[in-house]
Structure 1
Amino acid sequence: MEQVQRLASICTLQDEVVPFSTFGVGKSRPTNNVTVLAPSIDSAAIDRTTSKEISSAGKWPGLLERVRGAAHYIREVEDRAQEQELRVQEILEQVQADMQEASAKVQDAEQRARDVQVHASKLIQAAEERANMAEKRAAVAEAWLIQISQTIETEFVIEPAVPKQTGTISK
């Protein structure tokens, strides 16, 4: 609030009528006058402001050096951030390449597994077919063996052997 009052006292405006030609706009004087608002001059306020500016003028080189230091620091931070961003981009690209390579390997392994499964299925089916054929041949052979056995038993009747009598004298 104190600063507002001080500024108000420095910048109090007063009306002053100045002819239009005073501004060098034209040679003929118009009938209208221009109202110029100008701050009133308070010499004590000017002296205080001037002495403050003079005493703070010694601070400008230090302030300028701090601004330069801050700007240098900001550039360094931006450079590091840019380097890190580039590194992150490189890592991201490498990860993407690794993922594509891994995906290709997985697809290749899956394809080989499908191929092995198809081949195994074919081998199993062929083995089952051979087993079925062997079972059929065994059944046919068994049927023939049964017929042969029955034929032998019916066609070749073997009577039990009777003891022959020889010319022996009996007493």
Structure 2
Amino acid sequence: MTESTASDTGSHKSPSSEIFKHVPHPRIAARKVAGSAKTSDIRTRGKGPIGRLNARFGVLITVAVGTMWCAYLFTLLALVSLPAALQSHDKIIIVAWIAQTFLQLVLLPIIIVGQNVQAAASDQRAEDTYKDAEAVLHEALQIQAHLQVQDQILQRLMAAVPGQAITGETRSAGRVE
């Protein structure tokens, strides 16, 4: 650990009686204005009207196809051609039906459902992390306010002791980062 002065930490000290002045990081104000990012905000973005239309259309299709009901429907659709594949008695046609018709058609919506569940869990973790960061920020601001009150008390105590003046050396002494 090294000693640092108030100017090293991005804080300002003045020749007045302040021991330390807290300067909030600019991100704090920006965060208050913007809030946390939401999936719904991101998916409607696109470059120009065509980009936004494509994004909305893609989301609409993904939402429709990414359901178990769609998987059930695709299963029924794939089973329509199963009798013809079996009647051919051709192994290549049967394997092709399994791989190209059944697996691809049915697994697509099931995979999307799984991804949607994972994305929802990820979004919840991100939201929880954002709320945790807000709580930590609130606590840090409370600590800053508490330190300001302590600085005021220290200033009054120092002023009450004859021959003690608050100098720049006194201000930076004891500041460890």
- Same structural fold, with TM-score higher than 0.5 when normalized by the shorter chain: no
Taking structure 2 as the reference length, what is the TM-score of the superposition?
Answer: 0.36
Structure number with the bigger relative contact order (C-alpha 8 A, sep ≥ 6) is: 2
Q: Rg bigger for which structure?
A: 1
Larger strand fraction of residues:
1
